[in-house]
Amino acid sequence: MFDIGGWEFLLIIMLALLIIGPKDLPLAIRTITQWIRKARSLAQEFQYNLDDIATQAEIDKVKTDLVADTGFSDMKTELEESLRAEIDPQGDLDASIKSLRNSVDNQEILEIDSSEDNMSSETNSSDEAGQRDVALNPTGKRNS
C-alpha cells in the first residue's frame, strides 16, 4: 500500500519506541489500527455506493433503450385500446359497472343511516321504559 521496505519499517518502529515510549506503544498501535480499519470500511462503503449508482444508471439506460427500440409503451396502450374495443365496443359494460358501484355505495349509506336510526330509537325506548319502571310517588318512594 505505502511501498515500505523492511529497513524503513524497522526505522519507523525504532522512532515510535523513542517518541511514544514502550509503555504507551501498544495503545498507540491499537488506536492507529482502529483508524485504519475505520478508513478502510468508509472507503469500502463509498465504493459500494458508487457501484450501486453505476448499476442503477446502467439499468435506467438499458430500460430507455429497450423502450425506444421496441416501442413497448406504445404497444401497451394499443393493446389496451384493442381489448377494450373487442370486449366493450359501445362502452355499455363500463357504464353498467359504474352504475352498479354507485348503487352499492348508496345502499351501504342507506343501511348505515337506518342502523343509526334504529340505535337511536332503541336508546329512546329503553330510556322511556326505565322512566316508567322507576316512577316515584310524591313522598319520594318507588311505586310498585
Pairwise CA distance, residues 111 & 121, whole Å: 15
- Which pLDDT tens digits describe the chain residue by residue (144 residues)? 567 788 988 898 889 889 988 898 899 989 999 999 999 999 999 999 988 988 888 888 887 887 777 766 667 777 778 877 878 777 777 788 888 888 888 887 777 777 766 666 655 555 554 555 455 566 656 555
CA atoms within 13 A on the CB side of 6: 0
Total Cβ atoms within 10 A of residue 141 = 8
Per the CB < 8 A criterion, the answer to whether 143 and 135 are in contact is yes
- Fill in the DSSP letter of residue 2: -
Per the CB < 8 A criterion, the answer to whether 143 and 137 are in contact is yes
Q: Three-state DSSP class for 23?
A: coil
Phi/psi region, residue 3 (left: phi>0; alpha: psi -120 to 50; beta: rest), is left
